[in-house]
C-alpha cells in the first residue's frame, strides 16, 4: 500500500512543491557554500567553516529548535495537502479501499509514505549526522533523527484517523473559498481569487522573501559604487523570486481556465489585463522601493521588474514546459539579465524583454496543441 500511496500522492506533492524545495535548497546551500565569512580565515579551512555554517544546528540548540519548527510546519503542510487531494474525485477510492486493512498495516503504510515526503529533511539529517560524527557532536543529530521518526509516525496516525473517521464528515474549518464566494468575479480578477484561495502558501512565501530582499538591499544601497547597477540586479532578482507564482498561475489558467480561449476577448486587451494584474501583485515591492530608494529611480525599478515578470510569464506560453524546465530557463534568463546589468544595459534588456513577452503572448495565445 505504501508504494501506491507514494505513487498516488507523493509524486503529485513533489510535482507541486518542487519549485519551493529547490528554492529552499538553493538558499540554504548557497548560504553555506558561497557566503563570505567575516574576519580572517586561515587558508585551507574555508570548506570546514562553510560546512559548520551550513549544519549549524549540529551543535546549536537554538538553530536545532528553529529547524524542528520548520520541519513541523512542513509536515503540517503535507497533511493538509494529502487531505485536500484525497477529496478530489480521482482519489476518493482510497476512502473505501485502503481502510479495509488492519489499523497497524495502514499506519505502517502511511508512515512509509510520510518518510517519502520527508526526504528533504532526511537528506538534511543524514548530512548533519555525518558532520556531527566528524566534529564529535552527535547528540543533536540523533535527536533530529528521533524527532523525524516521531513526526512521521504521528503523521501516519493522523492520516489513518482522517481516512477512517473524519474524511466523510463535514468539516468546520475556515474555507476562504466560502468567503470569496460572495465577491463578484470577472476574467480579470479570477487570477487573484486563485492566489488567495488555492495558492496562499506560495503567495505568502514569495511576498515575504521578495519584501525581505528589498528591505535587505536598502542597507547596502548607500555603500555601493554603482547604485543603478545594484538596483537593476535587485529587480531581476525580484522577478526571479516570483517564478513559482508565475508558473502556478499559468498552470491554473492552462488547466482550469482554458475555456477563456473560446470567448471573444481581444488579445491586446488580455495582455493589458495581464500587465495590470502583475503590477498590482508587485505593488508591495514598489511601495517599499518608493519608501527606501530615491523616487526618481522608481520608474526604472518598476520597468525592470515588470519586464522581467512578463518575459518569464511568456516562457509558460510554450507547451510541454514543466516546473523544472521552467526553473532552468528562468535561471538562465536571470544570469543573462545580470550580465546585461553588469554592462549597464538593463534598460535596453528590459525593453527587449517587453517586446519578446508581447510577441510570444500574441503569437502563442491561440496555438495550444492540446488541453491539459
Angle at 285 between CA 199 and CA 309, to 5 degrees: 65
How many chain residues are in contact with other proteins, going by CB under 8 A? 31
Provide, rounded to whole angstroms, the least separation between the CB of residue 179 and other proteins.
10
Say how far apart CA 205 and CA 160 lie, in whole Å: 30
Say how far apart CA 95 and CA 91 lie, in whole Å: 8
Closer to other proteins at the Cβ: 169 or 367? 367
Provide, rounded to whole angstroms, the least separation between the CB of residue 359 and other proteins.
17
Q: Is 200 near other proteins (CB under 8 A)? A: no
DSSP state of 171: P
Q: Is 181 near other proteins (CB under 8 A)? A: yes
Q: Is 174 near other proteins (CB under 8 A)? A: no
Q: Which of 11, 255, 325, 328 binds other proteins (CB under 8 A)?
A: 255
Provide, rounded to whole angstroms, the least separation between the CB of residue 82 and other proteins.
17
Say how far apart CA 286 and CA 67 lie, in whole Å: 32
Closer to other proteins at the Cβ: 34 or 366? 366
State phi, psi for 212 to the nearest 5 degrees.
-60, -40
Closer to other proteins at the Cβ: 36 or 367? 367
Q: Is 42 helix (H, G, I), strand (E, B) or coil?
A: coil
Q: Is 84 near other proteins (CB under 8 A)? A: no
Q: Which of 7, 200, 256, 328 binds other proteins (CB under 8 A)?
A: 256
Q: Which of 3, 7, 15, 185 binds other proteins (CB under 8 A)?
A: 185
Q: Is 198 near other proteins (CB under 8 A)? A: yes
Closer to other proteins at the Cβ: 3 or 84? 84
Provide, rounded to whole angstroms, the least separation between the CB of residue 96 and other proteins.
18
Q: Is 172 near other proteins (CB under 8 A)? A: no
Closer to other proteins at the Cβ: 36 or 170? 170
308 in Cβ contact with 239 (< 8 Å): yes
Q: Is 36 helix (H, G, I), strand (E, B) or coil?
A: coil
Q: Which of 95, 207, 261, 277 binds other proteins (CB under 8 A)?
A: 261
> What are the contacts of 94-97 at 24+ separation with CB within 8 A?
94/8, 94/163, 95/163, 95/167, 95/168
Q: Is 177 near other proteins (CB under 8 A)? A: yes
Closer to other proteins at the Cβ: 256 or 328? 256
Tell which residue, 335, 337, 370, has the closest CA to residue 353. Answer: 337
Say how far apart CA 144 and CA 121 lie, in whole Å: 9
Stretch that binds other proteins, among 3-11, 21-29, 172-180, 243-251 (CB under 8 A): 172-180
Stretch that binds other proteins, among 98-106, 228-236, 260-268, 336-344 (CB under 8 A): 260-268
Instruction: Look at phi and psi of residue 231 and say left if phi exceeds 0, alpha if psi is from -120 to 50, else beta.
Output: alpha
Closer to other proteins at the Cβ: 220 or 265? 265
Q: Which of 12, 63, 108, 190 binds other proteins (CB under 8 A)?
A: 190
CA 176 to each of CA 57, 196, 198, 280: distance values in angstroms, whole numbers, following the listed order: 37, 8, 9, 21
248 in Cβ contact with 202 (< 8 Å): yes
Q: What is the DSSP annotation of 72-105?
A: HHHHHHHHHHHHHHTTSGGGGGGGGTGGGS-HHH
244 in Cβ contact with 202 (< 8 Å): yes
Q: Which of 263, 295, 296, 299 binds other proteins (CB under 8 A)?
A: 263
Provide, rounded to whole angstroms, the least separation between the CB of residue 262 and other proteins.
5
Helix (H) or strand (E) holding 311: helix 298-315
Closer to other proteins at the Cβ: 265 or 292? 265
Q: Which of 257, 297, 338, 347 binds other proteins (CB under 8 A)?
A: 257
* Interface contacts to other proteins, rule CB under 8 A: 177-178, 180-181, 184-187, 190, 193-194, 197-198, 252, 255-259, 261-266, 366-371
Amino acid at each position: 500500500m505504501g508504494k501506491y500511496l507514494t505513487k498516488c500522492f507523493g509524486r503529485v506533492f513533489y510535482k507541486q512543491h518542487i519549485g519551493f524545495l529547490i528554492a529552499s535548497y538553493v538558499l540554504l546551500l548557497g548560504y553555506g557554500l558561497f557566503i563570505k565569512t567575516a574576519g580572517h580565515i586561515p587558508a585551507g579551512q574555508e570548506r570546514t567553516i562553510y560546512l559548520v555554517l551550513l549544519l549549524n544546528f549540529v551543535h546549536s540548540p537554538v538553530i536545532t529548535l528553529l529547524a524542528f519548527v520548520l520541519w513541523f510546519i512542513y509536515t503540517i503542510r503535507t497533511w493538509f495537502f494529502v487531505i485536500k487531494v484525497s477529496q478530489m474525485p480521482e482519489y476518493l477510492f482510497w476512502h473505501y479501499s485502503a481502510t479495509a486493512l488492519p489499523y497497524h498495516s495502514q499506519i505502517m503504510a502511511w508512515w512509509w509514505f510520510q518518510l517519502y515526503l520527508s526526504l528533504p529533511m532526511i537528506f538534511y539529517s543524514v548530512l548533519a549526522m555525518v558532520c556531527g560524527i566528524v566534529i564529535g557532536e552527535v547528540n543533536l543529530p540523533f535527536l533530529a533523527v528521533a524527532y523525524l521518526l516521531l513526526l512521521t509516525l504521528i503523521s501516519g496516525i493522523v492520516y489513518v484517523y482522517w481516512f477512517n473517521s473524519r474524511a466523510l464528515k463535514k468539516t468546520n474549518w475556515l474555507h476562504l473559498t466560502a468567503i470569496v464566494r460572495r465577491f463578484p468575479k470577472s476574467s480579470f480578477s479570477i487570477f487573484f481569487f486563485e492566489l488567495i484561495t488555492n495558492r496562499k502558501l506560495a503567495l505568502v512565501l514569495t511576498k515575504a522573501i521578495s519584501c525581505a530582499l528589498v528591505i535587505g538591499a536598502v542597507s547596502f544601497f548607500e555603500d555601493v559604487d554603482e547604485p543603478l547597477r545594484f538596483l537593476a540586479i535587485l529587480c531581476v532578482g525580484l522577478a526571479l523570486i516570483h517564478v513559482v507564482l508565475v508558473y502556478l498561475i499559468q498552470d491554473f489558467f492552462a488547466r482550469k481556465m482554458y475555456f477563456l480561449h473560446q470567448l471573444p476577448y481581444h488579445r491586446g486587451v488580455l495582455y493589458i489585463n495581464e500587465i495590470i494584474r502583475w503590477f498590482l501583485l508587485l505593488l508591495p515591492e514598489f511601495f517599499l522601493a518608493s519608501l527606501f530608494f530615491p523616487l526618481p529611480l522608481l520608474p526604472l525599478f518598476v520597468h525592470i521588474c515588470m519586464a522581467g515578470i512578463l518575459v518569464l510569464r511568456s516562457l509558460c506560453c510554450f507547451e510541454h514546459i514543466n516546473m523544472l524546465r521552467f526553473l532552468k530557463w528562468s535561471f538562465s534568463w536571470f544570469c543573462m539579465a545580470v550580465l546585461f546589468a553588469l554592462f549597464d544595459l538593463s534598460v535596453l534588456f528590459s525593453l527587449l524583454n517587453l517586446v519578446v513577452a508581447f510577441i510570444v503572448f500574441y503569437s502563442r495565445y491561440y496555438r495550444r496543441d492540446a488541453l491539459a
